[in-house]
A and B are shown apart, each in its own frame.
Chain A
Amino acid sequence: MGEALLSSKNQKILKDGFWDTNPITFQILGICSALAVTTQLKTALVMSLGLTFVTAGSNVVISLIRNFIPSQIRIIVQLTVVSALVISIDQILRAYMFDVSKQLSVFVGLIITNCIVMGRLEAFAMGNPPWKSFLDGLANGAGYSAVLIIIGIIREIFGSGTLLGYHVIPASVYAQGYVNNGMMVLAPGAFFLLGIIVWIQRSISGYKES
């Protein structure tokens, strides 16, 4: 060991997950929830926190026991860990943020089947030590969160004229004939935004179709 907590290798893990191999824009994973929970910024934020917690947490746990998991049943073991984390999040949301929990409906539970979580466990946590796995989970969670939050902000502003529930587009603009964009509250609106974000991110990061 003896490696610094944020050595250049570890920094690369962070950067990869967040930017170079961003789970949404590079790997095109987790699209379903990105479309479903982003009509408002609030739900997008809660979902982001939830997923980041599960990815980082399950990465650490699986990484700790990676040498004891028989490879034939590793998916079941992974699922058990992920489910435990997701259920605890779901319970916390129901206890303290019941309205948000109702809006997110099945999508919290569906984190269990989120490809990002399983993908990181299989691709990273099964072969790397806990600290690195934690960073990897954190970075991927943050990469997912960033996209969700951007989409959430745009959809809420243009779809409802609000941000976190507060009116941000002044009434004088509406008086000039402006109207909210109904497309933004529909799933196709999120699809187009997602497409634009993927487009921009890939042109900056220099993605090449293999």
Chain B
Amino acid sequence: MKFIEEQLKKVGQLFEKGKPLEKLYPLYEALDTFLLTPGKTAPKAPFVRDAADLKRVMSFVVLALVPATLFGIYNTGYQIELAKGLAHSFWGAMAAGAWKVIPIIVVSYAAGGLWEVLFAVTRKHEINEGFLVTGILFALTLPPTIPLWQVAVGISFGVVFGKEIFGGTGMNVFNPALVARAFLFFAYPAQISGSTAWVAVDGYTRATPLAVAAAAPKGTSVVQALADAGYNFNNMFYGFIPGSIGETSALACLVGLAFLLVTRVASWRVVVSCVLGLLAMSGIFYFLKGTDRLAFFALPPYWHLVMGGFAFGAVFMATDPVSAAATNTGRWIYGFLIGVLTVLIRVVNPAYPEGTMLAILFMNAFAPLIDYFVVENHIKRRVRVKS
């Protein structure tokens, strides 16, 4: 530790004002504060500087994503083995998965990081660790077959249009990782939807559970249709199914959620209300089920929790403190509507099999409005009590 500190100090002199590398100071600062606790303390007495600054908070999110990432790598390899009919071996699956997933993550970090550094240097501010989260979140929402150049295009769009044009970390209206994914979804739909994208074997097609459920004809049992396609509640919960890299396992997301809640990074209100909204809307559909209605209506509501990207979105995307609602009442409304919209898009919108991404982006746009009314309402009540 001492050694690192001394070396950094030595190199750091090169980046000070008037020295040759002054322009690249943000790069040095990022490395310095990433390795060591920043030495800054509050200058005046009544203030305390929490050790959990932006950097630590963001690192916690990255840590929380570790289970989903590792499982995503394993599952990508496992699905390849299944598709090719190979014998199953844990390390074989990990290796095959890593071969597909690691390049996606690396490209995501490299391309996005380039923009991040470019903006930090021109705007003369620090490189924000928010990007560490965006880079991995984005990679985990992609199918394992995604072409690498599309990863680069997507993350570039997400960082510049999702974040930097609003002024950088903390100013963004939308979750940058989701903006990046939405861009790819609309720009190159063939590579990120349909039934060929989800298993990294050329020419292999297998529909995702949501696509199967949406395609079940009227009057048939949706659970049976899922079972025929090889999907049941258990394997969807554990995540041994094709899908985007990091989102197949609801279990891995739950582990991440536990960590985020213990470290108080994520708001439990958002997560709980997302789940409530999802159950409420799918409950209504379940109540309305009948032979002349879509077969999807008859899916048991709790199944929605483990299908598609809902668990991943609710835990890691909806809880993003920047783009979510900031008042407690607002968080309940915001999360609840995400759940409701997710089910609405999944079940009754034939154009999009999955609704989590669009639901969260949509509610991101409304979060400031929700907060506004919550605060207004609060002020009104206070005034009434006083008079």
Interface residues of A (CB under 8 A from B): 177-179, 181-184, 186, 188-189, 192, 195, 199
Q: Which of B165, B183, B186, B190 contacts A179 (CB 8 A)?
A: B190
Q: Is B187 an interface residue (CB 8 A)?
A: yes
Q: Beyond A177-B147, A177-B149, is A188–B191 a contact (Cβ under 8 Å)?
A: no
Most buried by B among A182, A186, A188: A182
Q: Is B362 an interface residue (CB 8 A)?
A: no
B103: chain A residues at CB < 8 Å are: none
On whether the beta carbons of A181 and B188 are closer than 8 Å, the reply is yes
Q: Is B350 an interface residue (CB 8 A)?
A: no
Most buried by B among A184, A186, A192: A192
Q: Is B161 an interface residue (CB 8 A)?
A: yes
Minimum CB–CB distance for B113 against chain A, Å? 21
CA distance A164 to B350 in the complex (A): 35
Q: Beyond A179-B191, A192-B161, is A186–B186 a contact (Cβ under 8 Å)?
A: yes
Q: Is B300 an interface residue (CB 8 A)?
A: no
Q: 8 pairs across A/B with beta carbons < 8 Å?
A: A179-B188, A182-B186, A182-B187, A182-B188, A189-B187, A192-B161, A195-B161, A195-B165
Q: Which of A177, A178, A181, A199 contacts B187 (CB 8 A)?
A: A181
Contact with A along B179-198 (1 / 0, CB 8 A): 00001001111110000000
A188: chain B residues at CB < 8 Å are: 186
Minimum CB–CB distance for B19 against chain A, Å? 28
- Please provide the chain B residues from 163 to 211 with a CB less than 8 Å away from any CB of chain A in the complex: 165, 183, 186-191
CA distance A82 to B149 in the complex (A): 48
Nearest 7 CB-CB pairs, A to B?
A183-B187, A181-B187, A183-B186, A182-B187, A177-B147, A179-B188, A182-B189
CA distance A195 to B161 in the complex (A): 10
On whether the beta carbons of B187 and A184 are closer than 8 Å, the reply is yes
User: Which residue in chain B gives the minimum CB-CB distance to A179?
Assistant: B188
Minimum CB–CB distance for A154 against chain B, Å? 13
Q: Count how many pairs of residues, one from A and one from B, have CB atoms less than 8 Å apart in the complex.
A: 23
CA distance A199 to B161 in the complex (A): 12
Contact-residue size bin, chain B (C-beta under 8 Å from the other chain): 10 to 19
A178: chain B residues at CB < 8 Å are: 149
**Main SS of the interface on chain B?**
helix
- Please provide the chain B residues from 259 to 315 with a CB less than 8 Å away from any CB of chain A in the complex: none
B187: chain A residues at CB < 8 Å are: 181-184, 189
CA distance A188 to B157 in the complex (A): 13
CA distance A181 to B186 in the complex (A): 8
Minimum CB–CB distance for B151 against chain A, Å? 12
A184: chain B residues at CB < 8 Å are: 187
User: Which residue in chain A gives the minimum CB-CB distance to B184?
Assistant: A183
A179: chain B residues at CB < 8 Å are: 188, 190-191
CA distance A186 to B188 in the complex (A): 12
Minimum CB–CB distance for A50 against chain B, Å? 30
Minimum CB–CB distance for A28 against chain B, Å? 16
CA distance A183 to B187 in the complex (A): 4
CA distance A186 to B185 in the complex (A): 13
Minimum CB–CB distance for B377 against chain A, Å? 32
B189: chain A residues at CB < 8 Å are: 182
Minimum CB–CB distance for B96 against chain A, Å? 21
A186: chain B residues at CB < 8 Å are: 186
User: Which residue in chain B gives the minimum CB-CB distance to A184?
Assistant: B187
CA distance A184 to B188 in the complex (A): 10
CA distance A37 to B76 in the complex (A): 43
B147: chain A residues at CB < 8 Å are: 177
Minimum CB–CB distance for A46 against chain B, Å? 27
Minimum CB–CB distance for A203 against chain B, Å? 11
CA distance A181 to B147 in the complex (A): 13
B191: chain A residues at CB < 8 Å are: 179
B190: chain A residues at CB < 8 Å are: 179
On whether the beta carbons of B183 and A183 are closer than 8 Å, the reply is yes
